[in-house]
Amino acid sequence: MVVILLGPPGVGKGTQGALLAEATGAKHVATGDVLRAARRDGTALGKRAQGYMDRGELVPDQLIIDLVREVLGDLPRGVDVVFDGFPRTVPQAEALEGALAGAGRRVDRVIVLEADDEVLVKRMAGRRSCPTCGAVYNVHFNPPKQEGVCDRDGTALVHRADDDPATVRHRLDVYRRDTAPLVRFYEGTSARMVRVPADRAVDEVQNGLRKAVA
């Protein structure tokens, strides 16, 4: 099964995608995480993506499409995939349709996670991430055991540069302009679309996702 998690910044795509992948054995493909790892490793892709990410802009489509083709090419044939943060534009969605069709596959579910802006802004203001292992915490909702330190590996947690309030507002605008139109795009395909309210406890949202893929 190929599942797409669609929703605005901070709605919980990463949190829910990781849980869904763990529960179903699917591969979790989060383009934001891949780009942050590329930046950490100082690769050419990371250097090209850096400025766009820090400004809250989308990285150019062709870079992302090449990146996802590479990830898909490395996966065992037929493995289930949960996409998080991809596609984000109509050209990316069209490229994914083409890549999947070439492998005799298609998008099966589009899960649209929904929450009001004030919920998203509070979540992103409180988010702290581990620069070593990528674990995500929240000072309000899911704090680490020791303040400012990753439970898994003891690394000092960071506040993402693109989580400052002005950049968050811009990311929300970019979402509405470039990514929200994908709802209409997928309404015109055979994928089943399921809307899941995401302004609930993590477990409750996860139950909504599990029902959507059952």
- Cβ-contact 85, 30 below 8 angstroms: yes
| Residue 88 bears catalytic tag | yes
> What is residue 60's DSSP assignment?
P
CA–CA gap between residue 211 and residue 192 (Å, rounded): 12
81 binds ligand AP5 (CB under 6 A): no
Q: Taking the complex as a whole, how short is the minimal distance between the CB of residue 127 and ligand AP5, in angstroms?
A: 3
Burial class for 127, CB neighbours closer than 10 Å (0-12, 13-18, 19+): buried
Q: Taking the complex as a whole, how short is the minimal distance between the CB of residue 105 and ligand AP5, in angstroms?
A: 19
| Residue 36 bears catalytic tag | no
| Residue 123 bears catalytic tag | no
Total of chain residues touching ligand AP5, rule CB under 6 A:
34
88 binds ligand AP5 (CB under 6 A): yes
206 binds ligand AP5 (CB under 6 A): no
| Residue 171 bears catalytic tag | yes
Q: What are phi and psi of 128, to 5 degrees?
A: -130, 140
Residue 200 has, within 13 A of its CA and on its CB side, a CA count of: 13
- Among residues 11, 19, 20, 93, which is the contact residue for ligand AP5, using CB under 6 A? 11
In the structure encoding, which two tokens stand for residue 15, read together?
A: 């949190």
Identify the H or E element spanning 3: strand 2-6
In the structure encoding, which two tokens stand for residue 69, read together?
A: 């083709």
- Among residues 4, 6, 38, 58, which is the contact residue for ligand AP5, using CB under 6 A? 58
209 binds ligand AP5 (CB under 6 A): no
CA–CA gap between residue 72 and residue 41 (Å, rounded): 21
Q: Which amino acid is at 25?
A: G
- Cβ-contact 82, 3 below 8 angstroms: yes
Q: Under rule CB under 6 A, which residues in 142-181 are in contact with ligand AP5? A: 142, 162, 171
Q: Which of 36, 88, 109, 123 is catalytic?
A: 88
Q: Give the x-and-dash track for 93-122 against ligand AP5 (CB under 6 A).
A: ------------------------------
Q: Which stretches of the chain bind ligand AP5, using CB under 6 A?
A: 9-15, 31-32, 35, 52-53, 56-59, 64, 85-86, 88, 92, 123, 126-127, 136-138, 141-142, 162, 171, 201-202, 205
Active site residues: 13, 88, 127, 160, 171
